[in-house]
């Protein structure tokens, strides 16, 4: 049951980070200060939410049996999760250290970090979903289908594809 915490929490991180990053970038490029501030707040919330998400990820990892063919994906997922946290923490601490006011070239550097962060959110979520829906990590899909004698679409009994 412990491993269910992670899938329950990831959606907050993904939603805050994607919405926050998109609003902030749109606000910067269209020079809309209110939208930029709104995005900045969501991005801080999303970055903070990574702590419980990552802790729950490790609880999940340590409480399930990972099929051998999914170990590579899990390692990649974990590395991408840490890279995501590093990029976002760097961007948020940098901005805070500068008192929230970044100059011309600094704004470009900040925007590059946010774009990289958005790409990493998509990548970590994609690999996470692949683990669960392609390899059945954290589910009993494989075992239960075979045990219940379910048939695939061709009518063959046994293991579903
Ligand atoms: C860095 C440490 C992390 C570890 C060790 C980890 C571990 C796992 C594990 C074991 C699963 C399989 C589902 C389960 O049993 O709970 C999973 C799924 C998933 N993870 Fe992570 N994770 C980490 C970070 C993240 C982060 C930072 C995000 C997103 C911001 C994320 C997004 C996802 C998603 C979207 C799934 C698929 C959930 C589903 O659709 O059911 N993970 N992760």
pLDDT tens by residue, 71-92: 999 999 999 999 999 999 999 9
Q: What is the pTM of this model?
A: 0.88
Q: Whose CA is nearest to atom 7 of ligand 1?
A: 57
Which pLDDT score, from 0 to 100, does residue 142 have? Answer: 55
How far is the centre of ligand 1, averaged over its atoms, from the C-alpha of 22 (Å)?
Answer: 22
Q: For ligand 1, is residue 49 a contact (CB within 6 Å)?
A: no
CA–CA gap between residue 106 and residue 39 (Å, rounded): 18
Q: Which two tokens stand for residue 126?
A: 């994609």
Contact present, 127 and 76 (Cβ < 8 Å): yes
Q: Where are the domains of the chain?
A: 2-138
Phi and psi at residue 157, to the nearest 5°: -75, 160
pLDDT tens by residue, 106-142: 989 999 999 999 999 999 999 999 999 999 998 876 5
pLDDT tens by residue, 14-64: 999 999 999 999 998 898 999 999 999 999 999 999 999 999 999 999 999
């Amino acid at each position: 049951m412990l491993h269910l915490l992670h899938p329950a929490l990831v959606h907050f991180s993904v939603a805050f980070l994607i919405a926050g990053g998109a609003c902030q970038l749109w606000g910067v490029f269209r020079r809309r200060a209110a939208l930029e501030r709104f995005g900045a707040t969501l991005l801080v919330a999303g970055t903070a939410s990574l702590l419980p998400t990552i802790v729950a990820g490790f609880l999940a990892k340590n409480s399930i049996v990972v099929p051998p063919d999914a170990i590579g994906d899990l390692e990649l997922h974990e590395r991408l999760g840490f890279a995501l946290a590093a990029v976002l923490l760097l961007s948020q601490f940098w901005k805070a250290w500068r008192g929230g006011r970044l100059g011309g070239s600094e704004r470009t550097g900040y925007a590059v970090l946010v774009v990289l962060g958005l790409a990493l959110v998509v990548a970590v979520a994609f690999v996470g979903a692949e683990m669960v829906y392609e390899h059945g990590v954290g589910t009993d899909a494989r075992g239960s289908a075979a045990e219940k004698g379910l048939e695939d679409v061709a009518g063959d009994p046994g293991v579903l594809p």
